[in-house]
Amino acid sequence: MKIWITKTKISDHHDYYTSRIISDSEGAYWNELENHTRHILSNDHRRKYSLKRISFNFPFYGRPINTFAITTQGFLYMSTFTHPQLNWAFTHHIAPLMGNFDTIGNDSHILYKDDGHSFVVEWRNVELNDQSEKGPYTYQTTLFKNGTILFAYKSVPDTDISGKLWPVKVGVSDAFYFDRDSPFGGYTRFVVRYHLINLNVSYLANYTAIVLDPLPTCNEATTCENCTSLNIAFNCSWCHAASRCSSGIDWHRQNWRNKRCDENSVGTPEQCPIPTNIPTTTTTTSKPTTPIATTTKATTTIPSKPASTTTRPSTLKITTTKIMSTTAEPRTTSTLGTVRSDAVRSKKDSKSETAIVVPLVIALVVILILCGAWIIYARTHPNTRSGIWLIEHSPRKMKEKFSGISFFKDSKEDTSTIHSKYGVQSDSSTF
């Protein structure tokens, strides 16, 4: 990774995105949201997030999405999967400034605007729940239709923010899901993070901006020829079974693995199958050929975009770790960022009863087998303690022992007293 610094900006390269931190003293990157929609999370004491559908598909790590969650903690959660045990701060986020913020103040608001080409979210006058003395923060994130992400900051009173109650992050991250069936029913879902950009919070100040420009990825190609002809830093290959182009690590990892694409994918145009439905012509008139469409991204009106001069690494080191807590994440030396997993267990409704009944049946069978084995041992070894106990408690001995005991009072006693004493009822309507 190479970093170059100028007087007004810091640029960096992150494999899937390039970043630029720009001084914006004139407010050119700030989008005023007066008279625009006020989100329901504004001044809300209970809600922490709300799902929002935008009017266009936003390419996030090359994957088009239009539904995500806006949170009060200063970030967008770019997935619709939720679970009580899920660590939201782990991955799937676009975070202009993630922290233990809330909107319970009278002047705290979350605003947004969707114009069909960009979507802007503003956290206005939000305060840290455990450090309210630092003052209000006001900042925005803008998602452009071409995949560019913009962070703009209007008021950042302090960057020394405690991450004790909630992680403090500036950047983006993505992951894929991997489900494994449980032998007792249900399944375990692993959230495996494959990339993370976590910028230095100390770079933030009033009237600064961060621009994240997307870089080409394999999953943007839709045909075998286009996929195997890509000249990018990722090792792209085409899987016929999945009809997908990938480097093997992206949102569709489980489908890629289930289709055995790691073994059966192709990486050169010569390995692509020849189309079988090529039309034949019998006349000498030649039809005008249609050129192969190439995907070009729309330009975004963001000034001062420098050319990238660094190259991305071609190797990927994967380390999978199962975590269940929201503790601080250790730094790693992975080339593209360490892949980690957050395991979340979910239950299928159709198998929930099986998960309870099967262990009970097994335990009952084991108890019956042990009791039968003990009875056989006691009967075949009458001189042992077990044999003597079984003889003393045989049905014949027990009958002789209780033959002289009466469980009923004399029939001459007042039966009304008996019934009032024991209170026996047989009417089932009282239960």
Q: List the single range of 15-29, 107-121, 249-263, 291-305 with lowest mean pLDDT.
A: 291-305
Backbone phi and psi for residue 427, each to the nearest 5 degrees, phi listed first: -80, 110
Name the residue with higher pLDDT: 284 or 188: 188
Which whole-number Å values give the CA distances from 15 to 5, 12, 30, 44, 161, in the listed order? Answer: 19, 10, 27, 38, 28
Residue 164 and residue 46: Cα distance in Å, rounded?
Answer: 21
Q: In the chain, pLDDT over 90 holds for what percent of residues?
A: 44
Q: Given pLDDT bands bounded at 50, 70 and 90, which one contains residue 44? A: low
Residue 122 burial by Cβ neighbours in a 10 Å radius (0-12, 13-18, 19+): buried
pLDDT at 327: 33
Residue 392 burial by Cβ neighbours in a 10 Å radius (0-12, 13-18, 19+): exposed
Residue 146 and residue 210: Cα distance in Å, rounded?
Answer: 16
Task: Report which of 72, 102, 109 is spatially closest to residue 88, judged by C-alpha positions.
Answer: 72
Q: Given pLDDT bands bounded at 50, 70 and 90, which one contains residue 64? A: very high
User: Partners of 71 in the beta sheet?
Assistant: 49
How do residues 76-130 score in pLDDT, each as one tens digit?
A: 999 988 877 778 788 899 999 999 998 877 688 899 999 999 999 999 999 998 8
**What is the Cβ-side half-sphere exposure of residue 394, based on CA atoms within 13 angstroms?**
9
Residue 30 and residue 19: Cα distance in Å, rounded?
Answer: 17
Residue 225 and residue 272: Cα distance in Å, rounded?
Answer: 7
Measure CA 358 to chain center.
Answer: 31
**What is the Cβ-side half-sphere exposure of residue 357, based on CA atoms within 13 angstroms?**
6
Q: Is 95 left (phi over 0), alpha (psi -120 to 50) or beta?
A: beta
Residue 331 and residue 200: Cα distance in Å, rounded?
Answer: 14
- Describe the crossing of helices 352-380 and 385-392 by its angle, rounded to 10 degrees: 90
Q: Which two tokens stand for residue 23?
A: 């001084």
Q: What's the pTM value of the predicted model, to 2 decimals?
A: 0.64
Looking at the predicted structure, is the pLDDT value of residue 269 above 70?
A: yes
pLDDT at 265: 93
How do residues 327-336 score in pLDDT, each as one tens digit?
A: 333 333 333 3
Looking at the predicted structure, is the pLDDT value of residue 295 above 90?
A: no
Residue 413 burial by Cβ neighbours in a 10 Å radius (0-12, 13-18, 19+): exposed
Cα-Cα-Cα-Cα dihedral sign, residues 248, 252, 258, 264: negative
pLDDT at 391: 80
Q: Which two tokens stand for residue 307?
A: 């050319």
